[in-house]
Structure 1
Amino acid sequence: MAELEIGSSIFEIVNKEKEKIVHFEDSICEAIIPKAGMTLDSEEEVYNFYVEYARHEGFGITKRTTKSGDDGRLKYYTLACVRGGKRRISSSQNSFNPRLSTKTECPAKINVIVGNDGRYTISRVHLEHNHALSPQKSRFQKCNKKIDAHVKRRLELNDRAGISLSKNFHFLAVESGGYENLAYTERDCRNYIAKARQIRLGVGDADALGAYFSRMQWRNSNFFYLVDMDDEGRLRNVFWADALSRAAYESFGDVVSFDTTYLTNKYDMPFAPFVGVNHHGQTILFGCGLLSKEDTETYIWLFKTWLECMSGKAPNAIITDQCMAIQGAIRTVFPNSHHRLCLWHIMKKVPEKLGGLTHYKAIKKILKSIVYEAIDVQEFEDIWLKMIKDYNIEKNEWLNFLYINRQRSAPIYVKGVFWAGMSTTQRSESINAFFDGYVGPTTSLKQFVEQYDNALKSKIEKENKADFASFNSNFSLLTDCYFEKQLHEAYTNEIFKLFQNELRGMLFCNLRLINSNGPVHVFQVTDIFKGKEGRSRRQVVFNVYYNEADFDIKCSCLLFEFRGIFCRHICKLLIERNVKEIPSHYVLPRWRKDIKRRHTYVMNYYEDTQTNEQNVRYTKLYSHFAKLAEIGVASTGKYLFLMKCMDEAMEKLMDNGCEQEQPIHSYEVHEQEQPMSSTSKFLTPLKVRSKGRPPSKRKKSKVEELITRNKKKVFIFRSFYFSFIFVRKLVLIISEISSKGEYSNP
């Protein structure tokens, strides 16, 4: 019985507390209901008062019927329900496809009179509505939508980081505890981002690009750019390279890959990056261009500009695709550079060029074996000529083109030149894939340069991480050979990993001395050849020439000449001859981790529009608030104390009672004087019409492929739909004619 009384008393207490809460809420509702005769101090106060009432009731408001006096001062206005007024139907509106309208001629409104004393009095109130109200959906009303400073900054930072808006908005919803707690929609965020980009990057594409280049060169005099304009002052071609890229070219500019098959912007201007490989085997950028044409003249301009940027130092080797315009420009600008064609682009065309042949599958198999598995030039020639004769394809123009250009396309012909391990323009392909996360087919030029900076920052960070890993971690040694330990201490981790793969391959090698003339020896190394898929194919023999006196060594597989590391056949010989140390000229400086390169000391000044004084203050304050929040949530006492302090600080700040004449030195921010905007103005480029290669043969970004796929689906659906409508109308016309014919002939 005692327990029941205790339970009853608890139940009564809970009910009383509920009644207090309901009574409190009713008193709040009573306080925000507008009444005739109420006087407020400002127009903003009236608006906020009525908005709060509308939010609680579940409708939106708008300002209507304003009236000003002879002196131009506001005298009278109306705040009404957003659904007030009549539905408007324009003469151009299709009656079969009407537009949505919210108007129901709702009479709810308040009239406000502005007195001579500057106070605002509600003169008339009409609270009844002629439509349903929804307090739960009030957040969708335009008057209730508001994006605060914290959310705005979060949106801008995530946008600069390349995070999509949908993920950005979803993050905000999770942070606030659900979409219902947001005072804005995804469309509001999208509109804000568009405005922020316009303010941040400028209004015009071309002018924004020029202003960006001007600021970057002002920050670092080694930033290089050149803009090519037509006679009308319209942007035609542009090239730029940052200071770090120019410095990196000094160490890694021996091999360059150039590829223009990647469209990146809404003008369809080909993105033309100059790409190389750093000491970790990572892709590194040596500058890039945006082009309006794909003819020889344009490429000559780009290559000459790039050569000027790199102090006249041409690359030793360059890889491009099969574009004839590019080949002509390279012969003109880089006559002494080794030039090879991208093998990936060539083999990709096999189905297109040979798919119609009767023995296509057999020819394709033989062609791949010739390209990827030929051991020497004679083997390539013999199998090629036999294939042409056996399948009677002497007149195939594409195969004849490949044979004529075999000196620049077939791997067996180019292995004697150092290519840093690159056989195709895969480095350019990887750059394109890297930029996929930042730019797309609708990217404007001003957005492109901003995202270009973000991409470069990420690349530099990856190189720094790889440097750290190479100095603080390493692979275990596979052998007791001293030269493995020597390279272990010299090479970066990624390059040493490639060398260890060659050491593992020694298991399949057998060494035999076939000739000796004093210090000069010739060895034969039998190896198991593995095809492109990695499966063991056949046994092959390579010759290794070794001059013991001068330590001159060369293998017929030419791996060292091609990649810059010793092959398994040479490693087998070194172990058999008990060679301890490899001479320094066989340890290429470009693969070493213990060399300090100039580009690592270059401080790159990227475009950073978030460094003004107000933004820096905001960042510091936000960081401190986060630390206070971590401390304040530890206990109720700390929480209440912190809330009290913040309330007091807010009151003082609102009253401007904390304004200081002198800044606090520990938080003082000095904003550098920005350069004057460039006086040279140029117009936005025209949309490019491709001439060098058909657009369908370009490598497209993932976003562009998705858009193209969806467009095809929409086109098919529309074709089917309109065909159906046409047939239906045709049937109705025929039936109508038939009925008239029957009527006229009794």
Structure 2
Amino acid sequence: MEGTEEVSSNFQENVTAGVEEDPIENGNFVAETESVPIGASQSDDQRDVIFLDGIGSFGVIDFDALRDEEIMMIEFVDLKTAYDFYNEYGRIKGFSIRRSKVGRCKKAGSEGNIIWQIFVCSRQGERDAKHVHRNDRKMDPRPVTRCGCNARIKVHVDSRNERWYVDFFSDEHNHDMLEARFRGMMQSHRAIKTGDLHQINTMRSSGLRVPTIFRAFANQNGGFEMVGFQVKDIYNAIEKQRRAGASDTDNALKYLQMLKRRDPCMFWKYSLDEQRRLHNIFWCDGASQYDFNVFGDVMGFDATYGRNKYKCLLVIFSGVDHHMRTVVFGCAVLSKEGEESYVWLLRAFLEAMKGKAPKSVITDGDQAMKSAIKAVFPEAHHRLCSWHLLRNATARVGIPRFMTKFRLCLMGDLEVDDFEDIWNDAVEEFGLQQNSWVKDMYERKHMWSNAHIRGKFFAGLKTTSRCEALNMQIGKFIHNGYNLREFIEHFQQYLEFMRWRVVVADYKSAYGEPVVKTRLEELKRFAAAVYIREVFVLFREVLLLASNVRVVSSKKTSTCTLFEVAMYCQGRSWNVSWGEIDDEFRCSCLRMKSFGIPCVHIVGVLVRLNMVVIPGSLILGRWTKKAKQPPINNHVFSGEIPDAAYMSMHAAMLDDCRELVKLSCSNFEDYFEVKTKIANERDALREKIQKRLATTAEGEGDNASIHDPPRARYKGCGRHVVTTRGRYRRVQCCRKCGKAGHNARRCAIGNGEDTTHELDAFGSLHNMDESQEAEASQQMEYDDLSF
């Protein structure tokens, strides 16, 4: 062989120099005593050669009956094939392998090229004694797996044809071989292939957890022992992908940039702290902006923790669409919960929505939210969640009879004077004149009392139950261990799922006619043709009650006609005005303004006037079938594939590939031909994609890296102490006495004390589970719609 080689001094060869050692190599080799050299003078015609050009050619080899002489006659197309061959040989025999010594060429023009390498049994060598006898060891040492096994194979490259031949082979093991059922557990045989990794990423993007993915592979391969890797290997592969390349924040911003290429209306904004760590980030796509333009008159938002690995605050802006379903307007991740963060967030939201602000906002009463809403949305009416108020009243007052009157003031159909009388009587009866919470609630009565809020449009919402239910549903798509990039990706998938459900609701509303349950045929047919099905069901109840309405008197003025109406067997009456010029109706109950559907009093007047259609002034556009038309311009950049098209193309390509595999594997010649073509096409396409990505990266520029956000501190998380190893440990404190070392159930104060949890400025509790909170508050949402 021409040229100078680098070799190890442990081998008696006719070359001199040093070799590179494998990083995991710890032992020393014994000298080679038996070798069957294949010299340059030996031609292929003088010996029977078995040539292997890849893993696919291993099918012609019976590894169980393979002899040492036959192994010496094998040649490989490259070094990787040689490694795969010995690895497969070890798998069948019952041992694991690893890479060892390597020799490199020093010939001019070929410096550094590998010309020979040794693969050894994984139990070769001995563990260094210094790793066994350590005084500072806190854990038991791992079991000793190195026993000085001498089994190995050495492959050498032939300079004439660039093939690799077996230069030395020894199958002398000094240990027992493992059983066949342990094959998938040996280190060199536990490998996640590229195709398996792609399938794992696809399953994870669908929201499947790692144990579920592993069970799917076991079902696909015919058993857990046939998978070829373990659960922890999947975790390691996922973590390796996370750490590859840029930081998590940079990857998240790159993902948003990719979404913007598909959706030009995609908007995001972020802020950094002094150390260039991500502080806040807000994003919304074009569909969310379109939804806010249609249904953004009423908005609610709430904050929750623990939906990402950084435990940062998650804030979702949501509303209600024409199907009475929750619609998302935007999402944000905040490092800290405070007025400054909320002000930044609402200003970013206002910028994304082209300066349009909501008319009404509903929250749980957090003081920081209240101050931010007043600063950014000064014209919006801020309402407090009724369910939170009832819970706080129970914690702060706790008198059952007072709770009955407080609920009447909160949700009853009262006039302002009636509210004042009931409130004053309750305060005096139970001696609550000096109660700070009662006085504070009375000063803010315009934010929660139904008598003072009547006439403000809230689409029937009185609680933040939709926000709580939304946070609960997100848990089915987003796991707490997701990083920022994974969180954004799965959140966008959840939005796609929500929008698909809207399409299904649109189909159900357009297909078929509602069942008639009233004799007012003409009004019913007109309403069914105009209103979406869910709103028509509510309006149909109004039509059923219209028969109980009677017009007591009517009076015509210069501008309108006034009707005094009353319900059957009720002493109370309401005034309805009708302007004949503009065909406008108004009622003193103000339910039309509060919810957007004609009240029973107005419908009674329509019946009295023999109207067969609902006037346009009584039809709110957001409740109609045409409220949300598809956007005219659905921009998709040239060359970019939408998600739905990608999934269709992916499924079609898989079907073709399955059939191709089935046909080509029936014959060796067809197999080699097809495999060669696929490898060439794969390499060409991979190179093309790499050039495309490089061009895109040059166009975007090379911005400074942004560091990941720190782990957030949230309400109720306790204080952190530093352990002796320099790590942070959470210390949970008792909620009664505030001391560490015990909980409230074992507190010395006793269970008879006040058990209220952490309260915000309005007395809002934050200890209840989201699912319990959503379920309880959902029952109160539309209590006022019983016309």
TM-score w.r.t. structure 1 length? 0.75
Please list, as runs of the form range in 1=range in 2, the aligned pairs for 1:165-244 lying within 5 A after superposition: 165-197=210-242, 203-244=246-287
Higher mean C-alpha deviation, range 618-627 or range 140-149: 618-627
Higher mean C-alpha deviation, range 484-493 or range 320-329: 320-329
Do the aligned partners of 2:562 and 2:578 also contact (CA within 8 Å) in 1?
A: yes
Q: How far 1:99 sits from its partner (Å)?
A: 3.6
Q: 3-state SS of the aligned residue for 2:207?
A: coil
Q: 3-state SS of the aligned residue for 1:315?
A: coil
Q: Do residues 40 (structure 1) and 79 (structure 2) align?
A: no
Higher-RCO chain (CA-CA 8 Å, sequence separation at least 6): 1
Do the aligned partners of 1:502 and 1:568 also contact (CA within 8 Å) in 2?
A: yes
Alignment partner, residue 548 of structure 2: 510
Which residue, out of 596, 609, 612, partners 1:580? 612
Q: 3-state SS of the aligned residue for 2:696?
A: coil
Q: 3-state SS of the aligned residue for 1:98?
A: coil
Which residue, out of 143, 148, 155, partners 1:101? 143
Q: How far 1:617 sits from its partner (Å)?
A: 8.3
Do the aligned partners of 1:36 and 1:122 also contact (CA within 8 Å) in 2?
A: no
Q: How far 1:451 sits from its partner (Å)?
A: 1.6
Q: Do residues 543 (structure 1) and 567 (structure 2) align?
A: no
Which residue, out of 683, 690, 707, partners 1:683? 707
Alignment partner, residue 327 of structure 2: 284
Which residue, out of 386, 399, 404, partners 2:443? 404
Instruction: Kindly provide the amino acid, as one letter, of the partner of residue 345 in structure 1.
Output: H
Q: Do residues 592 (structure 1) and 632 (structure 2) align?
A: no
Deviations 1:237-278 (A, max 9, x none): 222222222222222221121222455323333222222222
In structure 1, the gaps of 5 or more residues are 1-24, 528-538, 630-638, 697-707, 713-717, 721-746
Which residue, out of 431, 445, 459, partners 2:498? 459
Alignment partner, residue 160 of structure 1: 205
Q: C-alpha distance in 2, partners of 1:610/1:571?
A: 47
Q: Do residues 110 (structure 1) and 142 (structure 2) align?
A: no
Q: 3-state SS of the aligned residue for 1:169?
A: helix
Deviations 1:716-735 (A, max 9, x none): xx989xxxxxxxxxxxxxxx
Q: Do residues 418 (structure 1) and 478 (structure 2) align?
A: no
In structure 2, the gaps of 5 or more residues are 1-58, 719-729, 735-739, 743-787
Q: C-alpha distance in 1, partners of 2:568/2:93?
A: 88
Please list, as runs of the form range in 1=range in 2, the aligned pairs for 1:61-460 lying within 5 A after superposition: 61-66=97-102, 73-75=114-116, 77-82=118-123, 85-86=126-127, 89-90=131-132, 97-103=139-145, 105=147, 107=149, 109-112=151-154, 114=156, 119-121=164-166, 123-131=168-176, 133-197=178-242, 203-354=246-397, 360-460=399-499
Alignment partner, residue 60 of structure 1: 96
Q: How far 1:583 sits from its partner (Å)?
A: 0.2
Q: How far 1:416 sits from its partner (Å)?
A: 0.9
Q: Do residues 565 (structure 1) and 587 (structure 2) align?
A: no
Q: C-alpha distance in 2, partners of 1:520/1:410?
A: 28
Do the aligned partners of 2:302 and 2:315 also contact (CA within 8 Å) in 1?
A: yes
Instruction: Kindly provide the amino acid, as one letter, of the partner of residue 156 in structure 2.
Output: V
Deviations 1:601-641 (A, max 9, x none): 54578998999x99998754312245679xxxxxxxxx8xx
More helix by share: 1
Do the aligned partners of 1:546 and 1:553 also contact (CA within 8 Å) in 2?
A: yes
Q: C-alpha distance in 1, partners of 2:678/2:586?
A: 82
Q: C-alpha distance in 2, partners of 1:607/1:454?
A: 22
Instruction: Kindly provide the amino acid, as one letter, of the partner of residue 459 in structure 1.
Output: M
Deviations 1:689-724 (A, max 9, x none): 45xx6669xxxxxxxxxxx9x999xxxxx989xxxx
Alignment partner, residue 532 of structure 2: 492
Cα separation, partners in 2 of 1:98 and 1:306, compared to 1, 3 Å: same
Q: C-alpha distance in 2, partners of 1:647/1:93?
A: 60
Instruction: Kindly provide the amino acid, as one letter, of the partner of residue 100 in structure 1.
Output: R
Q: 3-state SS of the aligned residue for 2:62?
A: helix
Q: How far 1:408 sits from its partner (Å)?
A: 0.6
Do the aligned partners of 2:294 and 2:628 also contact (CA within 8 Å) in 1?
A: no
Q: How far 1:417 sits from its partner (Å)?
A: 1.0
Q: C-alpha distance in 2, partners of 1:464/1:576?
A: 38
Alignment partner, residue 727 of structure 1: none
Alignment partner, residue 724 of structure 1: none
Cα separation, partners in 2 of 1:598 and 1:139, compared to 1, 3 Å: closer
Identical-residue share of aligned pairs (%): 24
Do the aligned partners of 2:303 and 2:315 also contact (CA within 8 Å) in 1?
A: yes
Instruction: Kindly provide the amino acid, as one letter, of the partner of residue 489 in structure 1.
Output: A
Deviations 1:521-579 (A, max 9, x none): 1111258xxxxxxxxxxx88462524374654444543322221123444445445543
Do the aligned partners of 1:262 and 1:432 also contact (CA within 8 Å) in 2?
A: no
Alignment partner, residue 729 of structure 1: none
Please list, as runs of the form range in 1=range in 2, the aligned pairs for 1:690-709 lying within 5 A after superposition: 690=714
TM-score w.r.t. structure 2 length? 0.72
Do the aligned partners of 1:109 and 1:125 also contact (CA within 8 Å) in 2?
A: yes
Q: How far 1:68 sits from its partner (Å)?
A: 5.7
